[in-house]
A and B are shown apart, each in its own frame.
Chain A
Amino acid sequence: MNPEPPIVRLTNVRLDRGANTVLRDISLEVPRGRIVAVLGPSGSGKSTLLAALTGELVPVSGTVEVLGQRVPQRSRELLELRKGIGMLLQGNGLLTDLTAGDNVALPLRAHTTLPEVLIRRLVEMKLHAVGLRGAVDAFPRELSGGMARRVALARALALDPPLMLYDEPLSGLDPIASGVIMSLIRRLNDTLGLTSIVVTHHVHETLPIADEVVVIANAGVVFAGSPDALQASTDPLVRQFLRGEPDGPIPFDASVRAEAA
């Protein structure tokens, strides 16, 4: 029996930002149906990795495959691929002149020919799934940080994408809102049959919902395995990150970090 192919596969990928190499020789596979947490200190290249998955950043070398195909460079094919990827951005990216409902309806109106009545119904269902059915007519400025994040999540789920990418989903949220977002990510992943990649530096909030963990530091993958294996790791680099120690193999100074990369 052939195992199901991974939904994301990176092979010997090198990613540069300008003249700096941010990540090098990255090889990674994300199996379908799993939640993979990509952890690492700020500036380690986690968001750069996501940019490669969405085609915003073209790798200098190596191959990036998403949903069974190499990430295309031609804009038309790239837009087609992106219809299968839902992404929750760190800054939400909600259109401020549209209501929450219209924000969620945006991809539905752009990519489907569904009648308006059905779109309204779907929007209500998506907002209901994130616990915000009553916020359909609210503008983003009227929502709290946690609520806006959930509206952005509902919008990312609008087209029922098989792959969800979360870029720092907890940044700027209080512990209660963080807990709500994390439990939503787990519940939606299981009930909708998604695959989720969660990029974050919030270790303790993320580990309970993750099936697998990848730790990125010093321009490479320094750990890949289960959350339990991460907790048990004796690697000094992993220990430093988990304990939040300023001194260790991961330099605190960003310039030193870039040189180390």
Chain B
Amino acid sequence: MALLESTRSLGRAGLFTLSVLRASRPSADLFRELVREIYKIGARSLPIIAVGGAFVGLSVTLLGYRALDTYGASNQVSAMLGLGLYRELGPVLTALLFIGRAGSSIAAELGLMRATDQITALGLMAIDPVGKAVAPRFWAAVLSVPLLTGFFCSFAITASYFEAVHVIGIDAGIFWQVLQDSVDFIDDFLMALLKSAVFGAIAALVAAYVGYHAEPTIEGTSVATTRAVVNASLLVLMFNFVMSALLFR
């Protein structure tokens, strides 16, 4: 019975995804909404991404220095930072921070739109609610998360540079050279952006799906918000493993 319900739920989510893609015809209205959503869920997420990135950079540098110093390889700390950031930490942690900041708000907004008849009103005006309310949020997430990942990694590397060079005492030239040698533009940097776009799509779809189908009550909205954060976070972690196994040599 539980298996049947899970399969049914998966099928509904698949149909919802198709309806979002079908409703994404380029138009002036979609573009206008998209710009607004990129500002709301992308630009406004920047402060937490910056702070999160900086502290992750500091932690990884400290960890790397302690581990590598044992073997007299503390100069290689930026290689560990670069690979760790672009391959795993950057896309995953950005996506998790994005889910907490923007995924929850997507679910809450759509849940409240359902509870206050806004979604019903769109349908009654012959306007596709998925096209109007979901598609712009979905594409905004797909575009924003890779950009936010770029910012996350930049802030992490900047913070790491200050710690490694000015606190630990690693030579600045070696720090940058090792980082540049260890990170490949296509295999690491572009793959990080690809992963981030997939994570953005997962975050937005899960949040929009649970918000859009929330019970039209205050409690329903709150349940949808929690479910969006939990389900999207777990899916991101699962997809991260699968993509890492497939993409990285």
Q: Are B124 and A110 in contact (CB under 8 A)?
A: no
Question: Are B124 and A89 in contact (CB-based, < 8 A)?
Answer: yes
Query: CA of A44 to CA of B133 in the docked complex: distance in angstroms?
Result: 32
A1 CA / B50 CA spacing, docked (Å): 77
* Segment from B115-123, B152-160, B184-192, B223-231 that makes contact with A: B115-123
Of the residues B29, B118, B124, B126, contact of A95 by C-beta under 8 Å: B118
Given A79-B126, A83-B126, A87-B124, residue A109 in contact with residue B117 (CB < 8 A): no
Take A109-B29, A110-B29 as given contacts and tell me if A91 and B127 are in contact as well, using a CB distance cutoff of 8 Å: no
Which A residues are in CB contact (< 8 Å) with B123? 56, 82
Instruction: Please encode chain B, from 51 to 75, with 1 for each CB lying within 8 Å of some chain A CB and 0 for all others.
Output: 0000000000000000000000000
Contacts across chains A and B counted by CB atoms under 8 Å: 52
Number of interface residues of A (CB under 8 A): 23
Task: With both chains docked as a complex, state the minimum distance between the C-beta of B142 and any C-beta of chain A, in angstroms.
Answer: 21
Contact of A93 among B29, B118, B126 (CB under 8 A): B118
- Whether B127 contacts A90 by the Cβ 8 Å rule is no
Most buried by A among B113, B123, B124: B124
Which residues in A have their C-beta under 8 angstroms from that of B132?
110
Q: Which of B116, B117, B125 meets A106, CB within 8 Å?
A: B125
Min CB gap A213→B, angstroms = 24
Chain B residues, Cβ within 8 Å of A107: 125-127
Complex Cα spacing A89 to B115, Å: 13
- A78 smallest CB distance to B (angstroms): 8
A92 located at the interface, meaning its Cβ lies under 8 Å from any Cβ of chain B in the complex: yes
Closest chain-B Cβ to A169's Cβ sits at a distance in Å of 14
**Contact size range, B:** 10 to 19
Indicate the member of B116, B126, B132 with the most A CB atoms within 10 Å.
B126
Chain A neighbourhood of B122, CB < 8 A: 93, 95
> A residues 37-86 with Cβ under 8 Å of B?
54, 56, 79-80, 82-83, 85
- Quick one: CB contact mask for B125-162 with A, threshold 8 Å, 1 for yes? 11110001000000000000000000000000000000
Chain B's closest residue to A50 (CB) is B124
- Closest chain A residue, CB of each to CB of B19: A75
Q: Which residues of B contact A91 (CB under 8 A)?
A: 116-117
**In the complex, A106→B127 CA distance in Å?**
9
Cβ–Cβ < 8 Å partners of B128 in chain A: 79
A109-B29, A110-B29 known; A89 vs B126 contact (CB < 8 Å): no
A87 partner residues in chain B, CB cutoff 8 A? 121, 124
- Of A82, A92, A109, the residue contacting B126 (CB under 8 A) is A82
Known: A89-B121, A109-B29, A110-B29. A96 touches B126 (CB 8 A): no
In chain B, what residue has the closest Cβ to A82? B126
Given contact pairs A87-B121, A91-B116, A110-B126, a sample of 16 additional A-B residue pairs in the complex whose CB atoms are under 8 Å apart: A54-B124, A82-B124, A83-B126, A89-B121, A90-B117, A93-B117, A93-B120, A93-B121, A93-B122, A93-B124, A95-B113, A95-B118, A106-B125, A106-B127, A110-B29, A111-B126
B residues contacting A by CB (< 8 A) are 29, 113, 116-118, 120-128, 132
Sample of 24 A–B contacts (CB below 8 Å): A54-B124, A56-B123, A79-B128, A82-B125, A82-B126, A87-B124, A89-B120, A89-B121, A91-B117, A92-B117, A93-B121, A93-B124, A94-B121, A95-B121, A96-B116, A106-B125, A106-B127, A107-B125, A107-B127, A110-B29, A110-B126, A110-B127, A110-B132, A155-B125
Report the 8 A-B pairs with minimum CB-CB distance, sorted nearest first. A93-B121, A93-B117, A91-B117, A82-B126, A79-B126, A107-B125, A87-B124, A110-B127
